[in-house]
């Protein structure tokens, strides 16, 4: 475990905004990912959270090279992906797979489960003789908890959770090292979300997988992530071990996200303070100067926040926060418009 499996180095993904009759004029850029660096270690689950539009999916797709980066490098298992072409690129890419948010629409409705899985096996030249293939299909279904008779069925014959299991089996078919799970449970019924998270955790153990687990919601990643990165407007504003993030959130944005996580105990729920973020998320076409979060930050200070961009700095071992006033806020020396919550769900 001396080398990260994935190393994201100063990555930017800017989408051009085209105008004009033939869309030949670039009038600006959506700065979807705007200078992110992070490392994902073999066997770990890295949870990536943040509000809608902050660039999570774009970063995930950039790692898998489904979209090109504007700047920066992505190194997978020691290899800079941008240097690979043809067969080498295809082979390396097959070591990374994605699971999507909407399980049904990520499956071709005209293909049976058997042909979906066979296609995945063949695309990566892992299909061998018939007996081997049959056995492999059986193993895949059993790994994700679907009966063997599912092979002859079509996606619409399954529930959302079962479709997600098919998507997971498809991802596993090529024996990947890394799985980017993009909000894999958000579209599912609340009652089966925990099951799905547990299944992913079991598969991780069984197959030695590494996960980039993307979610809106801090409650979901809490149960599965080893470390969590919090994104805001294309940038990472905090990164730390999952338990540390929930116990001592360092960035005002993380505190706000945490205060929105429901607490099961109704008495605690009634008493605890909430940080309501005012205003919309600013546009990633023209992000605010200084700290991108300052326009909505309850702890905003006149000095620095609106003019100087904070960089990630360590506030504790392995705990990185991009906020000029993180230490003062933590020590209670600066009061926000709502008092900083100690998250009551943490004993
Ligand atoms: N192909 C594209 N062309 C132009 N803009 C894009 C493209 N894909 C994403 N964007 C924009 O980039 C920004 C980041 O989008 P992205 O989908 O990565 O966010 P997200 O964090 O995954 O959001 P969500 O939680 O809603 O899935 C958004 O403003 C989005 O509109
Ligand atoms: Mg997304």
User: Residue 271's domain is classified under what CATH number?
Assistant: 3.40.50.300
**Pairwise CA distance, residues 177 & 31, whole Å:** 29
Ligand nearest to the CA of 32: 1
Sheet of 178-182, strands arranged across: 96-99, 178-182, 210-215, 45-49, 227-232, 235-241, 319-321, 313-316
Q: Is residue 79 part of a domain?
A: no
Q: What is the DSSP letter of 38?
A: E
Per the rule left: phi > 0, alpha: psi between -120 and 50, beta: everything else, 53 is left
Nearest CA to ligand 1 atom 5: 15
339 falls in which pLDDT band (50, 70, 90)?
Answer: very low
Is residue 143 over pLDDT 50? yes
Is residue 150 over pLDDT 90? yes
Is residue 340 over pLDDT 60? no
Q: Is residue 276 part of a domain?
A: yes
Q: Looking at residue 41, what is its pLDDT?
A: 97
Q: Is residue 143 part of a domain?
A: no
For the ranges 58-67, 129-138, 328-337, the lowest mean pLDDT is seen at 328-337
* Model pLDDT for residues 30-70, shown as the tens digit of each residue: 999 999 999 999 999 999 999 999 999 999 999 999 999 99
pLDDT cut 90: percent of the chain above it: 68
**Pairwise CA distance, residues 283 & 306, whole Å:** 16
Q: Is residue 139 part of a domain?
A: no
Nearest CA to ligand 1 atom 30: 53
Nearest CA to ligand 1 atom 13: 32
Q: Looking at residue 260, what is its pLDDT?
A: 77
Domain housing 267: 226-347
Q: Looking at residue 23, what is its pLDDT?
A: 81
Residues flanking ligand 1, CB < 6 Å:
15, 30, 32, 50, 52-58, 216, 284
Is residue 219 over pLDDT 70? yes
Nearest CA to ligand 1 atom 14: 55
Q: Is residue 232 part of a domain?
A: yes
Q: Is residue 264 part of a domain?
A: yes
Q: Is residue 221 part of a domain?
A: no
346 falls in which pLDDT band (50, 70, 90)?
Answer: very low
Q: Which atom of ligand 1 is nearest to the CA of 17?
A: 4
**Cα(31) to centroid of ligand 2, in Å?**
15
Q: Looking at residue 2, what is its pLDDT?
A: 82
**Cα(58) to centroid of ligand 1, in Å?**
6
Ligand nearest to the CA of 68: 1
Per the structure, how many domains does the chain have? 1
**Cα(57) to centroid of ligand 1, in Å?**
7
Q: Is residue 44 part of a domain?
A: no
Is residue 343 over pLDDT 60? no
Which residues in 10-27 are b (16+ Cβ under 10 Å) and which e?
ebbbbbeeeeeeeeeeee
Is residue 338 over pLDDT 60? no
Ligand nearest to the CA of 216: 1
For the ranges 33-42, 191-200, 333-342, the lowest mean pLDDT is seen at 333-342
337 vs 252 pLDDT, higher one: 252
């Amino acid at each position: 475990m001396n080398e990260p499996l994935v190393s994201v180095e100063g990555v930017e993904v800017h989408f051009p905004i085209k105008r004009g009759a033939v869309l030949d004029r670039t009038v600006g850029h959506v700065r979807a990912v705007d200078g992110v660096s992070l490392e994902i270690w073999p066997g770990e689950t890295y949870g990536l959270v943040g509000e809608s539009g902050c660039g999570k999916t774009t970063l995930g797709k950039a790692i898998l090279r489904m979209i090109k980066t504007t700047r920066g490098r992505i190194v997978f298992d020691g290899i800079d992906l941008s240097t690979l072409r043809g067969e080498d690129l295809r082979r390396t890419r097959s070591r990374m797979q994605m699971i999507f948010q909407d399980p049904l629409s990520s499956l071709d409705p005209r293909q049976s489960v058997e042909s979906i899985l066979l296609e995945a096996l063949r695309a990566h030249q892992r299909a061998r003789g018939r007996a081997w293939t049959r056995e492999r299909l059986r193993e895949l279904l059993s790994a994700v908890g679907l009966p063997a008779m599912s092979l002859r069925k079509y996606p619409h014959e399954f529930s959302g959770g079962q479709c997600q299991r098919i998507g997971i089996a498809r991802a596993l078919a090529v024996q990947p090292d890394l799985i980017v799970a993009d909000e894999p449970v958000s579209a599912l019924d609340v009652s089966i979300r925990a099951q799905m998270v547990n299944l992913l955790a079991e598969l991780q153990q069984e197959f030695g997988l590494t996960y980039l687990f993307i979610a809106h919601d801090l409650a979901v990643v809490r149960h599965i992530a080893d470390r969590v990165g919090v994104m805001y407007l294309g940038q990472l504003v905090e990164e730390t071990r999952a338990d540390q993030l929930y116990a001592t959130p360092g960035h005002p944005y993380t505190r706000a996200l945490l205060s929105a996580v429901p607490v099961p105990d109704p008495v605690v729920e009634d008493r605890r303070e909430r940080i309501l973020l005012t205003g919309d998320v600013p546009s990633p076409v023209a992000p605010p100067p200084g700290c991108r979060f300052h326009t909505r930050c309850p702890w905003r200070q006149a000095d620095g926040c609106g003019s100087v961009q904070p960089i990630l700095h360590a506030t504790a071992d392995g705990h990185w926060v991009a906020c000029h006033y993180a230490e003062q806020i933590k020590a209670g020396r600066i009061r926000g418009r709502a008092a900083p919550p100690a998250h009551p769900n943490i004993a």
